[in-house]
Amino acid sequence: MHKIAEQYISDFLQQLKVEKRASEHTLKSYQRDLRRLAEFCDINELSIWADLSHEWVLKHIATRHRNGIGSTSLQRELSAIRSFYLFLMKAGLATENPAQHVKAPKQPRKLPKTMDVDQVAGLLDAGANSVLESRDVAMFELFYSSGLRLSELSALNLVDIDLQERQLDVLHGKGDKSRRLPIGKKAIKAIQQWLAVRPSKSANEQAVFTSARGTRLGNRSIQLRLKQWCIKKGVAESVHPHMLRHSFATHLLEASQDLRSVQELLGHENISTTQIYTNLDFQHLAAVYDQAHPRAKKTD
């Protein structure tokens, strides 16, 4: 490209630094992305920025993708190009933004790691030998029983659980959305056992799951307790709370084939999020749950 065209990149980066107060990391990334675009223009004999069309940007991104560049990096490159062309258009050096409607290839979604039913049973039926382990079993059962997120379980209060009706309320789920969930028989029993030995220090604490000091158990503590439980019980695989949620979704979906119900139970806003595991009222959800969930069936 002409040297004057190259200079525009420097001018753009200077504006980002001074007016937009962009971070050093952003500046270096944008500089690298735009230098690469300039090289592409040189190869294709495009001498000024106004020569770069929508089709040329598509070709540039497609070439980068074929060379193994991931979706996230390509999205950043497109963002750099769009921002650069907004700068050029304001300066009267381009009439359109050629990257405006170009999208990076979608990142393939990684399947979440899950456990099979027997692995879950082995983990949850290992037996508690102390008050704190009784609490831990109740937490782990509830993760798998109701598909709770880690933050939802730690935020759970005593008033949110109705053991007689076998249900609980998530009042502030993701996006501050609430939902009602059924609780399986195994989880009910584990919670009852925990509440029977819940330390008196916790009397004034509204949280369902409390520490030895009587305070609400935090996310990190719950994660560590699950990790320690797996080590103590000889579970080779590294299990984290979200794996129990993934297993809940996978096992329920395999048994029921009811994608919409699983979406409701997980609290997913879009069904596309739930589809990675392969429109209803609470009673129907509970019926699907009772029939399908391996630890919810009403057997003695």
Among residues 90, 174, 177, 213, the one annotated as catalytic is: 174
* CB 194 within 8 Å of CB 134: yes
Among residues 82, 179, 242, 284, the one annotated as catalytic is: 242
Q: What's the burial of 196, exposed, middle or buried (CB within 10 Å: 0-12/13-18/19+)?
A: exposed
Q: Where are the strands (E) in 46-162, listed by range?
A: 161-162
Active site residue 245: yes
Among residues 225, 277, 289, 293, the one annotated as catalytic is: 277
Active site residue 242: yes
d(CA 221, CA 227): 10
Active site residue 225: no
Percentage helix, strand, coil, to 5, in the chain? Answer: 60, 5, 35
Q: How many CB atoms lie within 10 A of CB 205?
A: 19
* CB 139 within 8 Å of CB 209: yes
Reduced to 3 states (helix: H, G, I; strand: E, B; else coil), residue 161 is: strand
Among residues 60, 185, 198, 245, the one annotated as catalytic is: 245
Among residues 76, 260, 268, 284, the one annotated as catalytic is: 268
Q: Which two tokens stand for residue 168?
A: 């609980």
Active site residue 149: yes
- Cα angle value 131/133/134 (rounded, 5°): 65
Among residues 135, 149, 251, 295, the one annotated as catalytic is: 149
Residues designated catalytic: 149, 174, 242, 245, 268, 277
